[in-house]
Structure 1
Amino acid sequence: MASPIDTLKEFYQKYNPPIRAHKHTCVGLGMEVIKRLKLLEKDFPGITKAMMLVSCDENIEDLDDYTTSFPGPQGFLIETEKDHVLVAIHVKVDGRPGVFLSDLGYHISRAVTVMADRCYPHTGWFTQSDEPHCRKEYKYQFNADNASYVEWHERETRAAGVKERLSLVYVARAYLSAVEVTEKRNLVWDLRSLLARDPKGRLAAGVYFPLKLKDQEFTMFYDSTSGKQRKKFKFSVFLELQKIPDEVVEEVEQCNEQLRLRDGELLSILNRLANVMADAEFMAEVLAVNEKIVELSAAH
C-alpha cells in the first residue's frame, strides 16, 4: 500500500497539473490562442503547423552568459525557471525572417512583430499600459549573438524613477513541457492576481496580493461612479462570510461584476483564499517550495 504524502514538497514533486477551462494562466491562454487560430488554416494554409508555444525566462541578469553558454535553454534546464509561455509563428516578409508573438498571459492586446533586421514591420517600443501611477513600455528584438532568442525589454516609469527588466524568449523550438514545468512552477508563485482588462489591454478591475505569513492583505480595484477605486483589505475580514461588513460586500460585488464572474463568485473566492492563507503551516511550505525554485535558478 502506498505511503501517504506528508509534505507539500513531496506532493508538488509528484503532481501533474491539469489545464482547466476558464482557469487561465499563460499556458492555458497560449493553448487557447493556438486552438482558435487553427480556424484560419483555410485562409492561411500552413498556419497550424507554424504555430507553437515558446518558453520565456524572466528577469535575466547576464544576457551574454545566457545566450552564448549553451545552444538552448535545455542545456541548463535545472537552473532556469521557465516561468512564462507565449505563442510564436515564424514568418518571412519578402525573404526577411521574423516571428509573430502573442502574449495574452501579460495581457498584450496586439500581435507583436519581431523582424531579425529590426526594419518594417518590426513593432519596436510600444506602450503596454499607461496608468496615472505607472507607465509600462515593451520592446521585443532578436538577440544579436543568438537568433534562437528574442529579447523582451520592459521599461516601467513611476514617480520614483524608471526601472528596466529583461527577459528572454526561446523561439528556435516548440516548448513541449509547458504544463509539466511552467504551469506547475506558477502554482507556487508568490504573487497572485485575478484581473480583467479592456480590449486594448488596459486594467479594468481585479484583485492581487503577495503570499506572506504575516500582514496578509490584498488590493482590489474597480471603476465606480466616483472614479477608479483601489483599496486594501485584510484577508482575515473574509474568514467568515456572515461577518463581512455590508459595505465591503457591496464593493466586492462591484468588482465581481467588472471581472465578469458569476454572482457571488468573487466573494466565495476571497473566503476560500482567506482560509487557505490562515493555514500558517501550509503557507510556510508554499513559500519554501517557491524559494527553492528561485535558488535553483539564481545562477541565471
Structure 2
Amino acid sequence: MLLKTINYDSVTNFIELYDQYKKNNHLSFEDFFRKYIPTLNKNANNCVGLALLLIEKLKQFDDRYSGIKNCFYLVSCEINLQSFDKYENTEYPCPWLSVNEHIMVALKIEIDGRVGVLLLDPGYPLDRVITVMNDQEYPNTGHFLSSTNPEEVYLIEMIMQGKYLQWSIYDESNLKETNLIYIGAPYLSPISVTERRNLVFTYRFFFSLSEKGENLSGIFAKIDEHILCLYYIDEDYPKEKQIIKLTPELFSSVNQLNSDIKKTLDRISHHLKISSKELWNILTKLNHIIEDEQFLDSLCKINNDIQNLNSGK
C-alpha cells in the first residue's frame, strides 16, 4: 500500500538544493554542498524517505507482536561493486570507502536455530518481502523477477559470516550488477550520508507506482546529458512504455504546447496526484537547471569524486 499511495521523488529535494545554492551564489557549489544540510520532505521521498516511512508504518505491528517495532532497522547498500575485497577483513564497512547510495529495511529472524533476514525495499522498489536464509533453504526466496523490468532477475544471498547480503542482478543469463548490503548493524546516517549522496546523482526520477511496484508514469532526467523525458504505460499496450523527450524549445511558452503533450501531462499528473500546472512547473524548473552549465559542471565533478572515493567501483 505504501508504494501505491506515495510517489518516488528524487526531483523535489534536488530542486530545493539548487534554489538554496542560488540564494548563496557567493559560494562555489563545492563549498556550498560541503556545508549544506539535507532535509526531508514528507511529500518528496526517494529511498531514504520511503524507508523511514515504512519503518514507521511497520511499528503498527507492535500491537500484535509486542516488541517487534524495535527489531526493524535500516541497512545500507553499496551499488554496482566490482569487488568485495575491502569488505572481507573488516568488522564494519569503512566510512571513508563506503558510499552508501541506497538504504533498505531489515528484520533478523531465526527458525529452529537457522538464521536469516527479511528485507524490504520500497525505494528500488522491490514489490515483496525478501527472505534470505543463511542455509538457502525454505523459506529462502532465491531467484525472483524485477517488478519494474521483466528482463531482470534478482538473487540475494547471505555472505561473509552473515554480515552482508550479496544482491546479484541478472539480465537474461548475464550478470549485470552486483550490490552489497550490510546487515551486521543498523545504519544510522540515512540523511547526512545517503540523502546527501543522492542529491548529486546525475539522474532524477519522479514517478508513481502500483501496489506491485510497477512503474506507471512519471519524469526521468539525465541532467549531465541534457535529457528530460515524460513516460507512461499505455493502457492499450501495457507492455510498452511510452516515452516523450522534451526539448528546450517546448518551455518557451506553455501556450505553444500541442494537444498530445497536454494530454500526456494530464495523464501523468493524475497518476502523480498533482495538477498539470504543478507538473509543468517542475519540468520547467528541471529544464532551467539542465541549462545551467556552471552548476552542472560543479555537480558532475562532485559526483565523479564520490565515485572515485570507492576504488572498488
- TM-score, normalised on structure 2? 0.85
Q: Which of 152, 175, 184 lines up with 1:136 in the alignment?
A: 152
Residue 114 of structure 1: how far off its partner (Å): 0.7
SS at match of 2:147: strand
Distance 1:186 1:235 in 2: 25
Structure 1 pair 225–83 and aligned structure 2 pair: CA distance change class (3 A)? closer
Structure 1 pair 211–130 and aligned structure 2 pair: CA distance change class (3 A)? closer
Residue 196 of structure 1: how far off its partner (Å): 1.8
> Residue by residue, what CA displacement relative to the aligned partner does 1:253-297 show, whole Å, maximum 9, x if unpaired?
222212332342221110111111111111111111111111111
SS at match of 1:78: coil
Q: Which of 109, 114, 119 lines up with 1:91 in the alignment?
A: 109
User: How many correspondences in the alignment?
Assistant: 287
Q: Which of 196, 200, 208 lines up with 2:212 in the alignment?
A: 200
Q: Which of 45, 49, 53 lines up with 1:28 in the alignment?
A: 49
Distance 2:72 2:276 in 1: 37
Distance 2:73 2:252 in 1: 43
- CA contact 2:38–2:191 (8 Å) conserved in 1: yes
> Residue by residue, what CA displacement relative to the aligned partner does 1:199-246 show, whole Å, maximum 9, x if unpaired?
11122112212122x5x2223221346534222222442254344334
In the alignment, structure 1 residue 78 sits paired with structure 2 residue 88: no
Q: Which of 287, 291, 295 lines up with 2:308 in the alignment?
A: 295
Moved more, 196-205 or 54-63: 196-205
Q: Which of 123, 130, 147 lines up with 1:105 in the alignment?
A: 123
- The one-letter code matched in structure 1 to 2:131 is T
- The one-letter code matched in structure 1 to 2:99 is E
Q: Which residue of 1 aligns with 2:229?
A: 219
1:154-193 to structure 2, matched below 5 A, reads: 154-157=169-172, 162-193=174-205
> Residue by residue, what CA displacement relative to the aligned partner does 1:9-68 show, whole Å, maximum 9, x if unpaired?
1111111111110211111111001100101101111211111111110111112x0331
- CA contact 1:240–1:271 (8 Å) conserved in 2: no
- CA contact 1:241–1:271 (8 Å) conserved in 2: no
Distance 2:197 2:243 in 1: 29
- The one-letter code matched in structure 2 to 1:137 is V
SS at match of 1:72: coil
Indicate the structure whose relative CO is greater, using CA pairs within 8 Å and at least 6 residues apart: 2
SS at match of 2:231: strand
SS at match of 1:129: coil
Q: Which residue of 2 aligns with 1:46?
A: 67
Moved more, 49-58 or 257-266: 257-266
SS at match of 1:123: coil
SS at match of 1:90: strand
Distance 1:66 1:120 in 2: 31
SS at match of 2:265: helix
Structure 1 pair 251–44 and aligned structure 2 pair: CA distance change class (3 A)? same
Moved more, 118-127 or 265-274: 265-274
Structure 1 pair 95–146 and aligned structure 2 pair: CA distance change class (3 A)? closer
Distance 2:169 2:252 in 1: 38
Give percent identity, aligned residues only: 27
> Residue by residue, what CA displacement relative to the aligned partner does 1:186-208 show, whole Å, maximum 9, x if unpaired?
00101111122221112211221
In the alignment, structure 1 residue 152 sits paired with structure 2 residue 167: yes
- TM-score, normalised on structure 1? 0.89
SS at match of 1:56: strand
- CA contact 1:87–1:102 (8 Å) conserved in 2: yes
SS at match of 1:41: helix
Residue 5 of structure 1: how far off its partner (Å): 4.9
Distance 1:292 1:224 in 2: 40
More strand by share: 1
- CA contact 2:126–2:147 (8 Å) conserved in 1: no
1:224-235 to structure 2, matched below 5 A, reads: 224=234, 226-227=236-237, 228=240, 229-235=242-248
CA RMSD, 1 decimal: 2.0
Residue 129 of structure 1: how far off its partner (Å): 3.1
Structure 1 pair 130–53 and aligned structure 2 pair: CA distance change class (3 A)? closer
In structure 1, runs of 5+ residues without a counterpart are none
Distance 1:68 1:106 in 2: 26
Q: Which residue of 2 aligns with 1:209?
A: 221
Q: Which residue of 2 aligns with 1:12?
A: 33
